[in-house]
A and B are shown apart, each in its own frame.
Chain A
Amino acid sequence: MINIGEVIETNDMIEKENLDVRTITLGISLLDCIDSDLNRLNEKIYHKITTVAKDLVAVGQSIENNYCIPIVNKRISVTPIALVGGAACKCPEDFVTIAQTLDRAAKTVGVNFIGGFSALVAKGMTTADENLIRSIPQALATTEFVCSSVNLGSTRTGINMDAVRLMGEIVKKTAEATKEQDSLGCAKLVVFCNAPDDNPFMAGAFHGVTEADAVINVGVSGPGVVKTALEKVRGQSFEVLCETIKKTAFKVTRVGQLVAKEASKKLGIPFGIIDLSLAPTPAIGDSVADILCEIGLEHAGAPGTTAALALLNDQVKKGGIMASSYVGGLSGAFIPVSEDQGMINAVEDGALTLEKLEAMTCVCSVGLDMIAIPGDTKDTTIAGIIADEMAIGMVNQKTTAVRLIPVIGKGVGETVEFGGLLGYAPIMPVNQFSCDAFVNRKGRIPAPIHSFKN
């Protein structure tokens, strides 16, 4: 029988250490909505989402009440829209109407984000892919809840540099299109290498074509819980440190598994995966950077940061894997800047640079995330940063991502406020040397040698 110590421990995690379930994400296939008539396509998409997801928010709330565990976000991911809209959309403006339909559907069912305004162009772009990509700035400027992602490369295919170059432009145009809101559109736009089909986290969630008609994926959280557990083992060996992280990750993940199974049962939709990511929020005490400090660094970004993060990421997975029947998505520690108070402090104090962040992405999920850069950064420079990050993912057979926000009208030293879970960020300097001649080459970077495994 459960004892009072265990009950107090669990409730302290929830009440004092910000333990929550970060998201229940309902993946919905829109492949059966495909139609060559744009109006009919939009109607079918709206109807399918509002039918399948009608109880999602209510079920989420009832689980919260039953267990007194906050479920911060209820979200939807859909089949990449470039695939769904290809037959009906003849120009970027046509794709914008689908984004608006998704937004309307999200509003109706009460979710706070809908992901999947996406294109998968790791090797090449179809006309539909390119039209969707070109529609992104307007799509994100005219919607509230839609998130967009583009997969630009993979270990098996190499990197589509034409798409990388185009995304450099598109990120900038999205920033321009939403400049009245401090370029907020870019916070809802992410590019990937090796994008997973079952990621529940925004902005990169989409419902992959390998998935069933509908599926429940859950993202757990709990940086504050790990931090508190580590406070009790200060100065002890790496063995003790690692064991402590593993045990904590196990407990956190079990809660996610429980919530996922409950949601699956109540909605009558199969359970897909748990994403084991340590996802921070701007709330005090809910920071991955603070865990790095607790491990022994003065600030995130100090020498030793990459090693500490590698250790943390690995132990979180080792602890979490046994706690869940199916693990997937991104599963690792997130290191967004604006969404993590410890990371913000590290940048403000000069401890953390873009280059160190890039090194950190080699050993954790996911990538250069929620980083504000000067609004006058060149398109080709953004493309160059994206290419670097894609290369890290391609060669290391892992998911990497880039979510940069060139804040129009602002420069280094200023800050930008996104609000809510997106937080605020100091604008970071970018290397000023040019990569134009590199980025402007046409074609793609071939797949690396170790991808040829057959």
Chain B
Amino acid sequence: MAEKNLDKAIITVVGKDTVGIIAKVCTYLSQISVNVLDISQTIVSGYFNMMMIVDLSGAKKSFAEISDGLDSVGEEIGVAIKCQREEIFEKMHRI
């Protein structure tokens, strides 16, 4: 039932692995009250891939602002960060 009130988005981080990527992203998210539900990571053809499932329902900023904010964080650490609403993955991979 609690699922219903969640406003889920997927944040992906792709780039060269360095120290502190997760820390920096999480710090930013905590500042704007975005709750992290799940984190997983893998290396694909030498690149660090991280995916976070987050809940935006309590966020202090709009989706567009969060997206822009993550872009800036990404630039700072030299990785590409994307924020997408979860439905695109849900619709594509679940019947």
Chain A residues proximal to chain B, CB less than 8 Å: 1-11, 62, 65-69, 251, 254-255, 257-258
7 inter-chain pairs at a CB distance below 8 angstroms, sorted by A residue, are A2-B90, A6-B89, A8-B49, A10-B93, A11-B12, A68-B84, A258-B91
Residues of chain B within 8 A of A255, CB atoms compared: 88, 91-92
Partner of B64, one of A9, A65, A68, A251: A65
Q: How far is the CA of A9 from the CA of B67 in the complex (A)?
A: 21
Tell me, yes or no, whether B21 is within 8 Å of chain A by CB. no
Q: Which of B35-53 contact A (CB under 8 A)?
A: 38, 40-42, 44, 49, 51, 53
Q: How far is the CA of A67 from the CA of B85 in the complex (A)?
A: 6
Nearest 9 A/B pairs, CB to CB: A67-B88, A4-B51, A254-B91, A2-B89, A6-B93, A4-B40, A258-B91, A68-B84, A251-B92
Of listed A7, A62, A251, A255, residue having the most chain B CB within 10 A? A7
Given contacts A7-B51, A11-B12, is CB(A2)–CB(B91) below 8 Å?
A: no
CB distance from A18 to the nearest CB of B (A): 16
Partner of B38, one of A1, A9, A10, A254: A1
Residues of chain A within 8 A of B51, CB atoms compared: 4, 7-8
Of listed B85, B87, B89, residue having the most chain A CB within 10 A? B89
For A12, the closest partner residue in chain B by CB is B44
Residues of chain B within 8 A of A2, CB atoms compared: 10, 53, 86, 89-90, 93
For A7, the closest partner residue in chain B by CB is B51
Q: Given A2-B86, A68-B88, A255-B88, 9 more contacts at CB 8 Å?
A: A1-B38, A2-B90, A4-B41, A6-B89, A66-B63, A67-B84, A254-B91, A258-B87, A258-B88
At the interface, is chain A mostly helix, strand, loop or mixed? helix
B interface bracket (residues with beta carbon within 8 Å of A): 20 to 34
Partner of B88, one of A1, A8, A69: A69
Chain B residues proximal to chain A, CB less than 8 Å: 10, 12, 38, 40-42, 44, 49, 51, 53, 63-64, 67, 82-93
CB distance from A265 to the nearest CB of B (A): 12
A4 touches B87 (CB 8 A): no
Q: How far is the CA of A417 from the CA of B41 in the complex (A)?
A: 46
For A262, the closest partner residue in chain B by CB is B87
Of listed B38, B51, B67, residue having the most chain A CB within 10 A? B51
Residues of chain B within 8 A of A62, CB atoms compared: 64
Residues of chain B within 8 A of A9, CB atoms compared: 93
Residues of chain A within 8 A of B87, CB atoms compared: 67, 258
CB distance from A240 to the nearest CB of B (A): 20
Partner of A66, one of B38, B41, B85, B91: B85
Q: How far is the CA of A2 from the CA of B40 in the complex (A)?
A: 11
A251 touches B93 (CB 8 A): yes
CB distance from B90 to the nearest CB of A (A): 6
Of listed A2, A3, A257, residue having the most chain B CB within 10 A? A2
CB distance from B51 to the nearest CB of A (A): 4
CB distance from A338 to the nearest CB of B (A): 31
Residues of chain A within 8 A of B53, CB atoms compared: 1-2
For B39, the closest partner residue in chain A by CB is A4
For B89, the closest partner residue in chain A by CB is A2
Q: How far is the CA of A288 from the CA of B34 in the complex (A)?
A: 42
Given contacts A1-B38, A4-B40, is CB(A65)–CB(B67) below 8 Å?
A: yes
Q: How far is the CA of A67 from the CA of B12 in the complex (A)?
A: 12
CB distance from A255 to the nearest CB of B (A): 6
CB distance from B45 to the nearest CB of A (A): 11
CB distance from A272 to the nearest CB of B (A): 18
Residues of chain B within 8 A of A68, CB atoms compared: 82-84, 88
For A6, the closest partner residue in chain B by CB is B93
For A256, the closest partner residue in chain B by CB is B91
CB distance from A385 to the nearest CB of B (A): 40
Given contacts A1-B53, A65-B64, A66-B63, is CB(A10)–CB(B88) below 8 Å?
A: yes
